[in-house]
Structure 1
Amino acid sequence: MPILLFLLDTSASMNQRTYLGTTYLDVAKGAVEVFMKLRARDPASRGDRYMLVTFDDPPYGVKAGWKENHATFMCELKNLQASGLTTLGHALRTAFDLLNLNRLVSGIDNYGQGRNPFFLEPSVIITITDGNKLTHSSGVPDELGMHKCATQTNQEHSQN
């Protein structure tokens, strides 16, 4: 019963058009739809769960979590708009935080005790981006950085 988390770039650069006239974001949406249709044909995919996360700032980047059904996922996918920055580091942190929260809620991880070794829940993060330069609200970073989780970052800001 794997979790397939789609991390889609919704930065403004995804409004660029291909030679056919479709935007990069439309191409990305189509890729996710085709993937899900092909995956649905496989009998082993019955227990799959899907999550949709974008490059929007948290918590707005989480479009469909583990509780949403297939119809909600597809509706959120179709309604995606390209705007904002290419904040891959923040988006990856949001994706990992969402997966960790799911494991905590489902009992796979226990607070203070770690992961139950007899539970196995594979997770895959499928990232679709145009590969343009990383951007951030504070400028253009030279390298990808994964920031600490949101609660740690908020605590650090309150101490300063």
Structure 2
Amino acid sequence: MPVLLFLIDTSASMNQRTHLGITYLDIAKGAIETFMKLRGRDPASRGDRYMLVNYEDVPFGIKAGWKESHATFMTELRNLQATGLTTIGQSLRTAFDLLNLNRLVTGIDNYGQGRNPFFLEPAIIIAITDGNKLTSSGGVQDELHLPLTTPLPGSELTKEPFRWDQRLFALVLRIPGNASVEPEPLVGVPLDDSPITPMCEVTGGLRSGGAESADAHVCSDYFV
């Protein structure tokens, strides 16, 4: 059963508006709702599990975990507000810890036995952010750093915070606040150079950014 964890940027900069009059946070919410509706049409989605994490400190940042229902997920998603800092490093650590908590209980990691492809728990983290400066209580950072400490026992046996069957995909919103005079045709979502890029690459995932001449619908199109 695949796990899809949505990591939503709720920093104050997500309140900025596009020329359509909606905020970046509204775009992120709409993209997730569209993704879940389209995914729900696939019979293979019956075993999917959805989680929701934002940029608040633990445990407040975990909006929907292992035991929450689909209705709880959607309610928490709609109630998200952009008021904090861009603490993506700590939030990513929270997301990985949440995913690895179930692995600890079920014993999927199998230390000393190698990787068992038949015994895996594929997980995808989909991060949506505006790609602004990484701000925290300690100041502004140029690079993304994940805290090394974790409350999970046995973490010293794992070098990286993620596992071999976990992927990080990031969508960086680059949507202008004014409409283009001569809109260019959408040919796809271009790659984006942001601090989250190295983490996407090391997990085998991908990062993309909304085209400068695109409107808000590019976010929904990406998830389709």
Q: In the alignment, residue 57 of structure 2 is paired with which amino acid?
A: D
Residue segments in structure 2 that go unaligned for 5+ positions in a row = 153-224
Aligned to 1:80: 80
Amino acid aligned to 1:42: D
Instruction: Give the aligned partner of residue 156 of structure 1.
Output: none
CA distance in 1: counterparts of 2:41 and 2:99, whole angstroms: 25
Matched with 2:45 is 45
Cα distance between partner residues in 1 of 2:133 and 2:42 = 36
How far off is 1:69 after superposition? 0.9
Ranges in structure 1 where 5+ consecutive residues have no aligned partner: 153-160
Shift in alpha-carbon separation, 1:71–1:114, aligned structure 2, 3 A: farther
Q: CA RMSD for the aligned pairs?
A: 1.8
Map 1:2-151; keep pairs closer than 5 Å. Answer: 2-109=2-109, 117=116, 118-151=118-151
- How far 1:105 moved relative to its partner? 2.6
Q: TM-score, normalised by structure 1?
A: 0.87
Q: Which amino acid aligns with 1:19?
A: H
- AA aligned to 2:19 is Y
Does the residue aligned with 2:17 lie in a helix, a strand or coil? Answer: coil
- 1:15-70 deviation line (CA, Å, top 9, x unaligned): 11111111110110000000000000111111000000001111111000011110
Query: Contact (CA 8 Å) 1:14, 1:130: kept in 2 or not?
Result: yes
Matched residue count: 151
The SS at the match of 1:140 is: strand
Comparing 122-131 and 140-149, the one that deviates more? 140-149
Q: Distance in 2 between matches of 1:57 and 1:114?
A: 35
Report the TM-score, using the length of structure 2 for normalisation. 0.63
The alpha-carbon distance between structure 1 residues 82 and 115, as it changes in their structure 2 partners (threshold 3 A), is farther
User: Residues 130, 63 of structure 1: CA spacing in aligned structure 2 closer, same or farther, 3 A cutoff?
Assistant: same
CA distance in 2, matches of 1:114, 1:123: 21
Aligned partners of 1:93, 1:115: CA distance in 2, in Å?
24
Richer in helix (by share): 1
